[in-house]
Structure 1
Amino acid sequence: MSRCARLFVVSGPSGVGKGTLVAKVRANRPQLGLTVSATTRSPRPGEIDGESYYFIDDDEFSRRVEAGEFLEWANVHGHRYGTLKSEVQKNLDAGRSVILEIDVQGGLNVRHAFPGAVLVFIEPPSAEELERRLRGRKTEDEAAIECRLANSRKEMECAPLYDVRIVNDDLDRAADELERTLDSYESDGGTN
């Protein structure tokens, strides 16, 4: 059976475990293509331009936005970050699928820029469990937690716009489901 390289986008509310799931899948699939993002922030010690990020200034970033070179981009803490279409295409042309872990708004923006992308929404088992996970991280104050919870309610409303929805109630089971999703879309376009 032939395999088709695809672009996969994994999104979901903060605290749902997207990063952990994607890291688990990447560990099992080293052949997945990696993309280098662009940013307007300065390099940190040890970071290498073209490997860690493409470090570009605000004017260059704006020029690339205007030229339509980004699949998605966002302003984060006063700096802009974005996924270049050329980075994704380079991997797809080499026959490697790509998996991006980005926020819900960015995921929906990718759908417009790259209609063939497969959007996967990671859901919590419940709103209560999501709140428990956010509080359990102990990385934000009460105001930040409340903001993330309010945002999660809005993000959950976007779940029906995604191609696949996976409930992260058990990490191993959810990772297996994400891997099966990749297999399905790579094998036959996701018609299973």
Structure 2
Amino acid sequence: MPTDEPSFAPASAPQRGTLFLVVGPSGAGKDSLIEGAKNTLVGNEHYVFPRRYITRPADAGGEDHIPVSADLFTTMMERGDMLLEWRAHNLRYGVPKAVAQHLERGRHVIVNVSRTVVDEARGRLGPVKVLYITVDEETLAKRLKARGRESSSDIKRRVQRAKEYLITGDDVIMIDNGAELETSIGSFVAAIGAATEH
């Protein structure tokens, strides 16, 4: 028997956001591109640029991060506060678990990670896009020397490692950061936009 009562369809959950993993050799300019994209997309609630936990003092230079001691980092891992974590250059890095909530709510998250966690992220945090930042060897060596953190032998090792640095897959987007920074930021932001068009 027909009724006059309206029927309501259940509200659909938001489409899951994309996790953008920014990878590339040390000195390729990942932090500069992320900061440029953050400034470009400021005020757009669809994009999130989380600060990472790092066992490095706040005043050590580099990116704006959340400094934690090695002991606190271990405690946070045991509590499940890290969505992803890894070690590099005698430091520990972690991505806050709050990123998972942003993805579930349909927001796109852009974060710098180690290539060692890419497969893990692909397996449990998809959809994932890998923004692979590249630069030629000469430019890479100049940037490493200019930042003054590594010795000449360290720079040679990093340049050699960059040649061996390889991540492949349909989800990988290559971005050449050898041009003027503003041009590279434009390419970086365009890649994010193209990957999130529905």
TM-score range, shorter chain: 0.7 to 0.9
Corresponding residue for residue 178 of structure 2: 169
Aligned-pair CA distance for 1:153: 1.9
Find the counterpart in structure 2 of residue 143 from structure 1. 153
1:7 corresponds to 2:19:
yes
Partner of 1:101 in structure 2? 112
Matched, 1:19 2:31: yes
- Is the Cα–Cα contact under 8 Å of residues 58 and 67 in structure 2 kept in the other structure? no
- CA offsets 1:74-123 (integer angstroms, 9 cap, x no match): 13565533114x31122223442210012222334322332311111011
The reply on whether 1:130 has 2:145 as its aligned counterpart is no
**Measured at CA, do residues 34 and 18 of structure 1 come closer, stay the same or move farther in structure 2, by a change above 3 Å?**
closer
The aligned residue for residue 52 of structure 1 is 66
CA distance in 2, matches of 1:177, 1:3: 25
Over aligned residues, Cα RMSD in angstroms? 3.1
Q: What secondary structure, in the 3-state scheme, does the structure 2 residue paired with 1:182 have?
A: helix
Report if aligned partners of 1:91, 1:97 keep a CA contact under 8 Å in 2.
yes
Distance 2:154 2:34 in 1: 24
Alignment partners' CA distance in 2, 1:18 and 1:102: 10
The two structures have a TM-score, normalised by structure 2, of: 0.71
TM-score (structure 1 length as normaliser): 0.73
1:152 is matched by which residue type in structure 2?
A
Alpha-carbon distance, 1:54 to partner: 7.2
2:126 to 112, 115, 118: 115
Greater helix content: 1
Report the identity percentage.
21
Rate the CA distance shift 1:76–1:11 in 2: closer, same or farther, 3 A. closer
* Bigger Rg, which one: 2
Aligned residues: 174
- Partner Cα separation in structure 1 for residue 108 and residue 142 of structure 2: 34
Deviation of the 1:70 alpha carbon: 4.2
1:186 aligns with 2:196: yes
Q: Which consecutive unaligned segments of at least 5 residues does structure 1 have?
A: 46-50
Q: Are the counterparts in 2 of residues 25 and 178 from structure 1 also a CA contact under 8 Å?
A: yes
Please state whether the residue corresponding to 1:187 is helix, strand or coil: coil
Do the aligned partners of 2:19 and 2:126 also contact (CA within 8 Å) in 1? Answer: no
Q: Is the 8 A contact 1:6 1:92 kept in 2?
A: yes
Unmatched segments (≥5 aa) in structure 2: 1-13, 60-64
Rounded Cα–Cα distance in structure 2 between residues aligned with 1:53 and 1:42: 6
Write the deviation string for residues 135-169 of structure 1: whole angstroms up to 9, x where unpaired.
Answer: 233331112212212221221x22x3452001112
Q: CA deviation at 1:177?
A: 1.4
